[in-house]
Amino acid sequence: MKWKEKEWRMRKPSTLLLIAAIGVFGSTTLAAQNKVGAEKCKVCHKIQYDSWLTSKHGKDKEKGAQCETCHGPGSGYLTLAVMKDPVKAKAAGLIAKPAKTGCATCHKNAISDEALATVHAHKAKPVTPERR
Ligand code: HEC
Ligand code: HEC
Ligand code: HEC
């Protein structure tokens, strides 16, 4: 996904915030999906939730980043049946691996690979190799 840099800079801060709230990592094709809130994700992703909550993203309710700011609005992929199927989840709007381009919407300075990988804690890798 390519950002129209100039357009972004020309927008008023309020518009920027609104767009950020809708989901800076999402594309326009996700318009039909709604945000459900981090509490819903917590049920199944407690490790990620707990570490996110104590990070600046979780603490700053206004300028921080919600789960769905990075992973896309969750109403379509939220159910276990969809979440367990990476293909279906993606089709329903899940951004499994958010890219650095999305971080740039809020962060002016370059984001390192390490910052991207440690933006919240991760579940330890289970024995099955293809899933985390
Ligand atoms: C009913 C349980 C459940 C809920 C609720 C849920 N998930 Fe998931 N999620 C899963 C399962 C199961 C997987 C697949 C196994 C894994 O990666 O842990 C998964 C995978 C993921 C992945 C990784 C996908 C990949 O291919 O690596 C992300 C990112 C994710 N969920 C984000 C979210 C977000 C954000 C929310 C809230 C909007 C959410 N999930 C709500 C159960 C759930
Ligand atoms: C600032 C952006 C950002 C926010 C906010 C965020 N995530 Fe993530 N998430 C990522 C990135 C980036 C990855 C991939 C990291 C990697 O594998 O290197 C990821 C990976 C995941 C995964 C895949 C499994 C794992 O842990 O590696 C799950 C599940 C997940 N996030 C759930 C959540 C939930 C639930 C929330 C909210 C409580 C959340 N994320 C908030 C960026 C974010
Ligand atoms: C919706 C806006 C927004 C997005 C998108 C966003 N961040 Fe942030 N981030 C913030 C704010 C606000 C802070 C707190 C102020 C600061 O430190 O700049 C922050 C802080 C951080 C910090 C400092 C960590 C801490 O808790 O002390 C890191 C690292 C970070 N972000 C990484 C990322 C990465 C990586 C991405 C993309 C996957 C990302 N951010 C996306 C708003 C955002």
Residue 33 has pLDDT above 70, yes or no: yes
Please list, in sequence order, all residues whose beta carbon lies within 8 angstroms of the beta carbon of residue 103, skipping any fewer than 6 positions away.
Answer: 111, 115, 116
Q: How far is CA 87 from CA 10, 41, 63, 76, 83, in A?
A: 36, 19, 31, 13, 9
Q: Is 95 in the pocket of ligand 2 (CB under 6 A)?
A: no
What is the pLDDT at residue 125? 75
**pTM for this prediction:** 0.85
Residue 15 has pLDDT above 60, yes or no: no
Question: What are the pLDDT digits (tens) for 71-90?
Answer: 999 999 999 999 999 999 99
Domain ranges of the chain: 36-132
**The one-letter amino acid at 52:** W
Q: If you take atom 37 of ligand 3, which residue's CA is the nearest one?
A: 103
What is the pLDDT at residue 124? 85
CA of 68 to the centre of ligand 3 (A): 14
Instruction: Give the closest ligand to the alpha carbon of residue 23.
Output: 3
Residue 54 has pLDDT above 90, yes or no: yes
